[in-house]
Chains A and B, each alone.
Chain A
Amino acid sequence: MLIRSTKDIPSSEITPEAVYLRRRQFMQAGAVVAAGALLPGVSEASVRLAAVVNNRYSTPEKQTPYKDVTTYNNYYEFGTDKSDPAENAQNLKTRPWTVSIEGEVKHPKVWDIDALLKAFPLEERIYRMRCVEGWSMVIPWVGIPLASLIRQVEPTGNAKYVEFTTLHDPAQMTGQRRAVLDWPYIEGLRLDEAMHPLTILAVGLYGQTLPNQNGAPIRLVVPWKYGFKSAKAIVRIRFTEQQPATAWGRSAPSEYGFYSNVNPAVDHPRWSQAKERRIGEFFKRDTLAFNGYGDQVAQLYRGMDLRKYY
């Protein structure tokens, strides 16, 4: 009898070895090209990252062009238009940068970003990204599995949730000069969601350091949830006993639940979630439960009414 863990990725999602090898060659070839020459629009500061491609958690779907990923996104700290982040995030200083790990952990720590980058091996993960507004992308992130970092700080028995806080600095983050949201931006996960192997702290995109508009120097990526769950420019990770009060949840609790799992059956008041437009495609496609990661994550929500816990 074949016993298969539900956590395993379906075989249709595994990149064939030939493609995988070719991609590695491509990445290696890219490494010798001066940063910025390979991809248009890369800021001078961007650096190639040595990352191992993780096939186990990568989709072979066509990747959204770098230009679209970096010029079309929501990042309200820099403005509410999707073109604002690319325009207004350029002056954000991402060095020096520290991420403080605190709360219900045995070994709280303040990480310097460069030390953090060296301490954990980087992986490339090609994930689908679904925005609550009904569009989606496929993005090759480079990051660190959040679980590795969590294991190191050893959460106490009281730790049930993880809260992520974004930089609050209206001088650099021009969108924070207006109270569009109650700054700083806060997001949260349940501890088991944070520990899930799909959850990563991303530090790169397309093999290079993360552009400012995409959440540099470090951001969360939780591919089975709507994009806004993935807090950008993280400065604090706090382990708590209580469920964190998230920025969007406080702003409109009836529209943005704590879980925000991608769910075609639960509509947002303004957007049907049944379908989505993949950026670059003309026809809409059906949205998949948990953004297509149900095989791996559905068991986290067993017994929960996901219409109530949306």
Chain B
Amino acid sequence: MAVASAAQLRWLKIGVFVLACYPLLRLIFLGVTDGLGTNPIEFITRSSGTWTLVGLMLTLTVTPLRQLSGWNSLLRVRRMLGLFSFFYACLHFITYIWLDQFFDFAAIIKDVYKRPFITVGFSAFVLLIPLALTSSNNMIRRLGARRWQLLHRLVYVIAILGVLHYAWLVKKDLTQPLIYAAVLTVLLGWRVLHRRR
């Protein structure tokens, strides 16, 4: 179990890729079949936001799971999960800029400046960009493993900002954001405890 064969690894990667495409394919299917509901733009915004958060949580689950199971091959899908999170974050961001605000940059800048939940969400998105750009093997080599790792610890900050973004936008019922906050607390708390040991 500790080391997967090349074939096992390939299937694991294909499986994760297909699962990660599901939210996008679902959106396309619903869009084509008129299934996006009464407020389609809100639906796409929410869906892409949700899957960005889920993606981030799954990316952060890889390390604890690997340490618990000893299955080191899991590391090989972490990059894919991270990049899918970035992909859904882009979709979320583009939906806001294009479909929601329709490139009304005056309104967008005002929103980013005035509304804390948008400021926080926008910051999280901007911080994701360098991580996505440095995700290739070549970039790891060029940066050096230590510096690369240091940079990619930004994902902890990004995940916290992402959950905060969600919590802040909710009008009253905090149940969903609190679930993400609880999961994130476990994932980050585990790391703290693991390092102390």
Contact = CB atoms under 8 A, between A and B. Distances in A.
Interface of A: 67-68, 71-72, 76, 80, 82-83, 133, 135, 178, 180-181, 251-252, 267, 269-270, 272, 274-275, 277, 279, 282-284
Contacts of B107: 272, 274-275
Contacts of B168: 270
Interface in B91-147: 99, 101-102, 107, 110-111, 114-117
6 contacts: A72-B38, A269-B115, A270-B117, A275-B107, A279-B39, A284-B102
A138 to B, nearest CB: 14
B24 interface: no
- Majority-rule SS of A interface residues: loop
Given A277-B41, A283-B102, A80 B173 contact: yes
B115 A270 contact: yes
Interface of B: 37-39, 41-42, 99, 101-102, 107, 110-111, 114-117, 168-169, 171-173
Contacts of B101: 284
A80 B172 contact: yes
A267 B102 contact: no
A68 B38 contact: yes
B49 to A, nearest CB: 15
Given A76-B173, A272-B107, 5 more contacts: A71-B37, A80-B171, A181-B172, A269-B115, A272-B115
A279 B117 contact: no
Nearest to B42: A135
Contacts of B111: 272
B37 A72 contact: yes
Nearest to B110: A272
B67 to A, nearest CB: 37
Contacts of A181: 172
Going nearest first, the 4 A-B pairs with the smallest beta carbon separation are A72-B38, A80-B173, A68-B38, A180-B173
Nearest to A256: B171
B39 A277 contact: yes
